[in-house]
Amino acid sequence: MSLLRAYSTPATTKKESSEIVAPEPAREVLVADVISGAPGELRHRSVRIYQPTRNTMQSGAGKTERWRLDFDILQGGSRWENPLMGWASSADYMQGTRLSFRSKEDAIHFAEKQGWDYYVQPEAIKRIPPKNYAENFVYKPHKLRIMRTK
């Protein structure tokens, strides 16, 4: 799926025709902008919707079932080193905002309501073959190709 404008333009419809994208959602979108009072610039921000993958340093798979929505950084304005203290300063008030949703659709719906351009990163499908201990000792008809040094 490609970066889509929340309010579709002719250009993006063209892209969609060839696309594996979810079709334009049929549901009514109440634009949050009407009542939220959020600054207008916020509508020009792009967000990414994704399922975080497991940290490879750990075996726990917590938080990988949820869909996360967070903001792309502001080019130029996201971070700089504060000349006085050396801390990282930011002009981006959304840099620490990270939303979590139960499903992709919820996240997309939310982004549409807010009028954010979003990119949905498809979930990674895990392909782990059945494993078993006996595989270590199974007879191989050809020449043995591994020396187990465990």
Partner 1 sequence: MLRIVSTVSRPSSTGILGKVATSGRRSLATSSARNADITLTVDGKEVTVPQGSALIQACEAAGATIPRFCYHDRLAIAGNCRMCLVEVERSPKPVASCAMPAMPGAKVFTNTPLVHEAREGVMEFLLANHPLDCPICDQGGECDLQDQSMRYGADRTRFHEITGKRAVENKDLGPLVKTSMTRCIQCTRCVRFANEVAGVEEFGTSGRGNDMQIGTYVEKTVDSELSGNLVDLCPVGALTSKPYAYHARPWELKNTESIDVMDAVGSNIRIDSRGVQVMRIQPKTNDDVNEEWISDKTRYAYDGLKFQRLTTPLIKQGDRFVAASWEDALTAIAEGLAASGATGNEIQAVAGHLADTESLVALKDLANRLNSDNLTLDQPNGHLPPVHGVDIRSNYLFNATIPGVEAADAILLVGSNPRHEAAVLNSRIRKSWLHTPVEVGFIGERADTTYGYEYLGADANSLEAFVSGKAPESAFTKKWKEAKRPLIIVGSALSEHSDAAGVYNALAKLAEKEKARLVTPEWNGFSVLQRVASRAATYEIGFTPSRAASQTKPKFIYLLNADEVDPKSIPSNAFVVYQGHHGDLGAQLADVCLPGSAFTEKGTTWINTEGRAQLGRAAVSPPGAAREDWKIIRALSEVIGVPLPYNDTLELRDRMWEISPALVRYDITEKTSSDIALEGIKAIKDRTAGAKIGGAAFKKPISNFYQTDPISRASVTMAQCTRSFTKGENYGFSESGKAEQAAFA
Distance CA 125, CA 135 (A): 24
Determine whether 43 is exposed, middle or buried from the number of CB atoms within 10 Å of its CB (0-12, 13-18, 19+): middle
The amino acid at 138: V
Q: Residue 54 CB, nearest distance to partner 1 (Å)?
A: 6
Q: Under the criterion CB under 8 A, does residue 81 sit at the interface with partner 1?
A: yes
Q: Which stretch binds partner 1 (CB under 8 A): 25-33, 34-42, 76-84, 102-110?
A: 76-84
Distance CA 24, CA 14 (A): 12
User: What's the chain's length in residues?
Assistant: 150
Question: Based on CB atoms, which residue is closest to partner 1, 26 or 134?
Answer: 134
Q: Under the criterion CB under 8 A, does residue 52 sit at the interface with partner 1?
A: yes
Q: Under the criterion CB under 8 A, does residue 42 sit at the interface with partner 1?
A: no
Q: Residue 35 CB, nearest distance to partner 1 (Å)?
A: 27
Q: Under the criterion CB under 8 A, does residue 85 sit at the interface with partner 1?
A: no
Distance CA 19, CA 120 (A): 13
In the numeric block, which tokens belong to residue 64? 């990988």
Q: Under the criterion CB under 8 A, does residue 45 sit at the interface with partner 1?
A: no
Q: Residue 7 CB, nearest distance to partner 1 (Å)?
A: 12
